[in-house]
Amino acid sequence: MADGIVMRVHRVRSEIVLAACDEELLGQQLPVGNAGRTVAITSQFYGERRVSEEEFVLAARRATIVNLLGARVLAAAEREGLVSPGGAGTLGGIPHAEIFTVGG
C-alpha cells in the first residue's frame, strides 16, 4: 500500500470507533499543552495495518466516531467530504480531527 495510512477499528459498546493516522507518526510523542505533557501515538490505538485510501474511507463512513491524525489522512477525509476544509485542529502541531455521528 502506497498511501501510508494505518488504522484500527475499535468496538466500544454500541460505538464503532475508527482511529487512523499517517504511518510515520506511530511511536512519536506529541506535546500537549504548556505543562510538558505528551501524548503517545501508539499502534494499540491507531493500529499498524497499512490500508489504501479507499479502505480508510469505507471504514470512516461506517464508523460512529472517527479519530484522525496526520496530513495525509486529513487530506483524504477532506477530499471525501468527511471533514470540512479548515475543519481540523492540531495535536502537537500535527493536523487532527474527530468526527462524531449524532443519531436521529
pLDDT, position 30 = 95
| H runs (alpha helix) in 1-104 | 43-46, 53-62, 71-79
Helix axes 71-79, 53-62, angle to 10 degrees: 70
Domain tally, the chain:
1
In tens digits, the chain (104 residues) has pLDDT values of 447 999 999 999 999 999 999 999 999 999 988 888 999 999 999 999 999 999 999 999 999 999 999 999 999 999 999 999 888 999 999 999 999 987 64
Euclidean distance between CA atoms 30 and 38, whole angstroms: 5
Which CATH number fits the domain that encloses residue 74?
Answer: 3.30.1860.10
Q: Which domain holds residue 35?
A: 5-100
pLDDT, position 102 = 73
